[in-house]
Copies of this chain bind each other. A is one copy, B any other.
Amino acid sequence: MASYVFGIDVGGTTVKLGLFDAEGTVLEKWEIPTITTNHGEQILPDIAKSVLAKAEEKSIAKEDVIGVGIGVPGPVDDEGVIYKAANLGWDEFNIADKLAELTGFTVKAGNDANVAALGEMWKGGGCGYKDMVAVTLGTGVGGGIICNGRVLMGATGAGGEIGHMHIVDDETETCGCGNTGCLEQYASATGIVRLANRKLQASDKDSVLRTGEVSAKTVFDAVKANDALAIEIAEEFGDYLGEGLANIAAVVNPEIFVIGGGVSKAGDVLLDYIEKNFQKYAFRGCKGAKFALATLGNDAGIYGAAKLVIE
């Protein structure tokens, strides 16, 4: 009986790989470098080699492998076609077919944020739920939408691009996407720093944030220490993100939001500010949504990739 799965998470500098049993227990984790030269032509052959070597090392027969799941940083459709992955140098091609050809295994592919969301639903903060929105608060704001246990990819793989919802009308700075007033400009790690700097400039209030470097971490550390100005910043962050998540809820009505990414290391205090403001904006039929922190950290991608082939 086939009973092993490989889960692969391709990043811009490192490829994370995991060997799982069919129940989703990780048996081994390892990494290889991502070689992006020559339009990233070596990336999939390197992955195939590493997967086949691991199978041989563990004496795993081909027929005992259920398949290989892979998450990549770019839009991927249901068939496994990636449209573009600028970080990897890739243009449009079918990753799933290509990796299947190189390994001889069944392969399923997905966008990395969506795949990480699937991982959190399977074995992380969203375990036990089937309608979930994963929110990644890192350098940017990413999202992964799970409906009825399946990742919502969208027509062109842009499903869950929640960082680019329009939230603020009178923003003057431009988002990385070219628009202005995107959620990402306020709720990402860099967005929180922007909010903090604006608040520090606009206010005369004393604050521990006036000493040393301002980061999402120092802001929420100051919130925990009851710093009044930091609390104002957290309120503003929570208001923007709460509004964004309430609007997402009016579209997909999830059971739970799972909050991950670097900013989520602030812990439960973060959820307090998000949830309170979510309740302020949410449609009554959506107010029952729960909030939890992501638990898998950087491993969400390999878990979710493995889950892609166990369905």
Segment at the B interface, from A23-31, A60-68, A250-258, A301-309: A250-258
Cβ distance A65 to chain B, nearest Cβ, rounded Å: 27
Segment at the B interface, from A34-42, A100-108, A282-290: A282-290
A198 / chain B contacts, CB cutoff of 8 Å: none
Known: A157-B285, A179-B281. 5 other contacts (CB 8 A): A131-B155, A159-B252, A177-B284, A178-B284, A247-B247
A interface majority secondary structure:
loop
Instruction: State whether A75 and B251 are in contact (beta carbons under 8 Å apart), knowing that A131-B155, A147-B152 are contacts in the complex.
Output: no
Contact A288 B179 (CB under 8 A): no
A→B interface (CB under 8 Å): 75, 78, 131, 143, 145, 147-148, 150, 152-162, 164-166, 177-179, 182, 243, 246-255, 281, 283-286, 288-289
Contact A155 B284 (CB under 8 A): no
Copies of this chain present in the complex amount to 2
Nearest 6 pairs between A and B by C-beta? Answer: A154-B253, A158-B285, A164-B283, A155-B255, A158-B253, A131-B155
Instruction: State whether A246 and B131 are in contact (beta carbons under 8 Å apart), knowing that A159-B253, A179-B283, A252-B252 are contacts in the complex.
Output: no
Task: Please give me the residue from chain B that is nearest to A145 by CB atom.
Answer: B251
**Bound-complex Cα distance A46 to B112 (A):** 51
Cβ distance A68 to chain B, nearest Cβ, rounded Å: 22
